[in-house]
Amino acid sequence: MMRVTLFGASGLLGQDLVKELNDEQLTALSSKDVDVRDRARVSKVIRDSRPDWVILSAAYTDVDGCESNRELAFAVNCEGAVNVAKAAHEAGSRLLFLSTDYVFDGSKRSPYEVGDARNPASVYGESKTRAEEWLVEILPEVCIARTSWLFGHGGKCFPSTILKLATARPEISVVNDQRGGPTFTRDLASALVQLCRASAQGIVHVTNSGNCTWYDFATEIMRQSGLSTKVKPVTTAEFPRPARRPAYSVLSPDSLNAYNVRMPEWQDALRRYLSDTSVAPRP
């Protein structure tokens, strides 16, 4: 049995991690329990729980919000991560840190490998990039799990937003020039726990297999849910957002497969997500 201390237990991923870690000795902490910016509090909870692994999924993930709240983004995503890493180091605990495809600028046209150069194009991506760099200095054996396009139950996500819009409108417009890998939090949680059990270290890319554009994703949501709402493809330029998104951020599965961990296809993940909502998926 592993002793695990989880930061971010109430988040979209955190809720599935709590379920996945049900058979372990788990200390599950939400942002209300511990603010990662409070170094003394972080140190105390890690010292008291004496975990084999600390999993840090707590973050300020509002990508557009980060653009206008740069100081907060770095305080939580970078300085907060450093606080957790230092406390884990002092306690002799391993650390698994959740990172993002946004550490890349999206200029590549083949899946990103773990050794590809970071070049974030947004404040959110910058804050995660800097955290990655610092954590390796503090804990050389840290496991950095980069993921992308998360969806799951217990919070706002792309499929839930699309389903809500589809019930209210005859047509919805969705960006068709950004390509990435949708990732179901339930599958991600399972993979992360497997990585802990395998004593993983270094950078690992963890997404459901396959890739698509947001338009493709929305179209598949419509198809599986049996809704007749028309999905119209549009360009990023037609839908400007405060934060720049990578045009291509597909993450290669090679680093994950090296641990004999394989993720289901994103379409299968979507089917299972929809089967747990009020919308029954089509085969």
Active-site amino acid positions: 124
From the centroid of its chain, how far is CA 281? 24
Give the pair of three-digit tokens for residue 221: 């949501």
Name the pairing type of β-strands 171-175 and 230-234.
parallel
Q: What end-to-end distance do the CA atoms of the chain give, in Å?
A: 38
d(CA 200, CA 140): 12
| 230 DSSP β-pair partners | 171
Alpha-helix runs per DSSP H in 75-112: 80-91
Residues 6+ positions from 7 with CB-CB distance below 8 Å:
29, 34, 36, 54, 55, 56, 57, 58, 84
Task: Find tokens 């995660």 and name the residue.
Answer: 128
d(CA 154, CA 173): 25
Give the pair of three-digit tokens for residue 165: 């819009």
- For residue 133, the tally of other CB atoms under 10 A from its CB is 12
